[in-house]
Structure 1
Amino acid sequence: MLLRPVVASVLALVAAAGFLLPRMATAGEKPAVDLALMLAVDISGSIDLDEARLQREGYAQAISDPAVIKAITSGINGRIAVAYFEWSDSYTQNALLDWTVISDRASAEAVARKLTAEPITTARRTSISGAIQFALPRFAGLPYTALRRVLDISGDGPNNDGGPVDLARDAALAAGIAINGLPIMNGRQNSWGFPTLPDLDKYYEGCVIGGPGAFVVVAEDFASFDVAVRRKLILEIAAAPVPTPATRPRVIRAQTAGGYGQNGYDRGCDIGEKQSREFWRRRFDQ
């Protein structure tokens, strides 16, 4: 009998402080997550099988990294939803992971195992716009209520297939989806001899990323890809600026709220399409 007033007092305190705790979903409601993060990974012709494997392993290692798990569990709800697909041509998108919740080490390691168990493939052309268009309906069908929705695009070349990349980006922003980027400064032509883009980081800044807090993390090569991915995931999950010493991957934040770059991309967001037309014109002229 003496315990009843104490229990009542405790319950009152918990109820009064309820706003400090993550709210559980009631019947008919979608479970809440801090972030819905879709990872879109380039497997176009400039990426060989070994590099594609390095990318896949880089994401698997980063997702299960203790620092990334700490960032996930430190959120309001202590969990995020992740999806993963690989892309190349406008009609080539391979979904390896549907929306999956990560809330602890066990769930993070399960996702890592799922990614590394899938077969490695590569394709030919590069359609960032196709990747964005593939992602939009999957965000629309998200089975969770997310505080933020982010599409994370990594690749080693500009858009050269499908629709204009900036128009696809604008459609994502209109749907409330932010886009971050991880350009890989590979510097190596693909097996067809297709040219590279030396300022790919600026292209991503001006033509690909967008939304509040959008940013680019630069991977200088495939060997340092896992470090760049881990850095980017922590930034995305924490949604806060983090100092970037010279020994860490470069972070380029959008210069405007829309994330279009300070003055846009001075070579034009169709630079990849121009490169493609010139490349094929020269081949046909030979």
Structure 2
Amino acid sequence: MSKPGSLLGALAALVSVFVPAWQASAEEYVDVALVLAVDISRSMSPEELQIQRRGYAAAISSPEVVRAIELGAHGRIALMMFEWANENHARVIADWALIETQDDANRFASVVMEDQTRAQNRTSISGAIRHAAAFLNDVPFLADRRVIDISGDGPNNQGPPVLGARAAALEKGITINGLPLMTKGGVGFQFNIPDLDEYYRRCVTGGPGSFVIPVTNWDQFPDAVRRKLILEIGYRPPERERVIRAQFRVEEPYDCLVGEKIWKRLREQYYWDP
């Protein structure tokens, strides 16, 4: 018969084998480690960028989001926010913070509003996913789930194809949710596609429980972000929410290189430099 000490030691060794490397240095349990990846490409106007910033701050500090955090198994989440555009641009706006109370949420929102956005060239969703996955790898908490919350107003048009970046993140157990901004007009309208929500669903999002919430009017933005955060924190959709579940059925192939093709066509048409 095995001694109790030997059995406990064997169980401890077995558990340690299955603990992911990204949890090794964690100090405290959280329900979710959530990265907010915010598009600041030049296709968005300064006014739109400011609406976006205010919308995130209002949603994070809303009583509904704080209540969703309080109802979690651990009653706390880890949150960080960065801005993305081209493949190499990943500017941290608010670094990893433990959000447990209304005061925590208010402080995070204040940090978001204290900063100023500076738009950048190009749209690399693949780069945004890669940077977000790296941030999640360094999260200083033990997270039950790891989620990338990515918003954007156009398809990938720079850097590696988005499917490869998505696959790499999913292999690490990361879920990717999308907030496609399908508003009309703007300086980058020529890069827009009419089915950006479908592009996000088919090419960008993935993982357990992943979803897409499209925004068709900027007036909808604050509420859409709030609802999205509640879904990500609570991991269950409220009834009658307009949510598109990602990758739910087998479908005809979708062209996930549509953004790269638009960029190539416009560059050739207007003789842009590579």
* TM-score, length-scaled by structure 2: 0.87
Single out whichever of 149-158 and 118-127 deviates more from structure 2. Answer: 118-127
User: How far apart, CA to CA, are the structure 1 residues paired with 2:113 and 2:212?
Assistant: 25
After superposition, the Cα gap between the structure-2 partners of 1:87 and 1:264, relative to the gap in structure 1 and judged at 3 Å, is: farther
**Given the alignment of the two structures, is residue 167 of structure 1 paired with residue 164 of structure 2, yes or no?**
yes
**Given the alignment of the two structures, is residue 52 of structure 1 paired with residue 49 of structure 2, yes or no?**
yes
Structure 1, residues 3-40: CA drift from partner, whole Å, max 9, x if none? xxxxxxxxxxxxxxxxxxxxxxxxx8620000100000
Structure 1, residues 218-259: CA drift from partner, whole Å, max 9, x if none? 1112221101101101111110122235xxxx3101244xxx
- Of 235, 245, 251, the residue aligned with 1:263 is 251
Percent identical pairs in the alignment equals 45
After superposition, the Cα gap between the structure-2 partners of 1:237 and 1:124, relative to the gap in structure 1 and judged at 3 Å, is: same
- How do 1:207-246 residues align onto structure 2 when only pairs under 5 Å count? 207-244=203-240
- Structure 1 unaligned segments of length 5 or more: list them: 1-27
User: How far apart, CA to CA, are the structure 2 residues paired with 1:85 and 1:221?
Assistant: 23
Once the 2 structures are TM-superposed, how far is the Cα of residue 203 of structure 1 from its aligned partner?
A: 0.2
User: How far apart, CA to CA, are the structure 1 residues paired with 2:265 and 2:75?
Assistant: 50
**Given the alignment of the two structures, is residue 277 of structure 1 paired with residue 264 of structure 2, yes or no?**
yes
Q: SS at the partner of 2:82?
A: strand
Q: SS at the partner of 1:224?
A: helix
- How do 1:197-208 residues align onto structure 2 when only pairs under 5 Å count? 197-208=193-204
- Tell me the equivalent position of 1:155: 152
CA RMSD of aligned residues (A): 1.6
User: How far apart, CA to CA, are the structure 1 residues paired with 2:264 and 2:63?
Assistant: 45
- Tell me the equivalent position of 1:254: 246
Q: SS at the partner of 2:38?
A: strand
Once the 2 structures are TM-superposed, how far is the Cα of residue 265 of structure 1 from its aligned partner?
A: 5.2
- How do 1:180-199 residues align onto structure 2 when only pairs under 5 Å count? 180-190=177-187, 194-199=190-195
User: How far apart, CA to CA, are the structure 2 residues paired with 1:149 and 1:284?
Assistant: 42
Q: SS at the partner of 1:176?
A: coil
The structure with higher relative contact order (CA 8 Å, sep 6+) is: 2
After superposition, the Cα gap between the structure-2 partners of 1:279 and 1:181, relative to the gap in structure 1 and judged at 3 Å, is: same
Runs (4+) off by over 4 Å? none
Once the 2 structures are TM-superposed, how far is the Cα of residue 264 of structure 1 from its aligned partner?
A: 6.1
**Given the alignment of the two structures, is residue 112 of structure 1 paired with residue 109 of structure 2, yes or no?**
yes
Amino acid at match of 1:77: H
Q: SS at the partner of 1:223?
A: helix
User: How far apart, CA to CA, are the structure 2 residues paired with 1:29 and 1:273?
Assistant: 39
Structure 1, residues 43-72: CA drift from partner, whole Å, max 9, x if none? 011111111111111010000111110000
- How do 1:84-123 residues align onto structure 2 when only pairs under 5 Å count? 84-123=81-120
User: How far apart, CA to CA, are the structure 2 residues paired with 1:277 and 1:262?
Assistant: 30
Amino acid at match of 1:135: A
Q: SS at the partner of 1:273?
A: helix
C-alpha contact 1:96 1:115 (8 A) present in aligned 2: yes
Aligned length: 248
**Given the alignment of the two structures, is residue 177 of structure 1 paired with residue 165 of structure 2, yes or no?**
no
Once the 2 structures are TM-superposed, how far is the Cα of residue 187 of structure 1 from its aligned partner?
A: 2.9
Q: SS at the partner of 1:179?
A: strand
User: How far apart, CA to CA, are the structure 2 residues paired with 1:42 and 1:127?
Assistant: 9
User: How far apart, CA to CA, are the structure 2 residues paired with 1:264 and 1:178?
Assistant: 23
User: How far apart, CA to CA, are the structure 2 residues paired with 1:81 and 1:40?
Assistant: 14
Bigger Rg, structure 1 or 2: 1
C-alpha contact 1:185 1:220 (8 A) present in aligned 2: yes
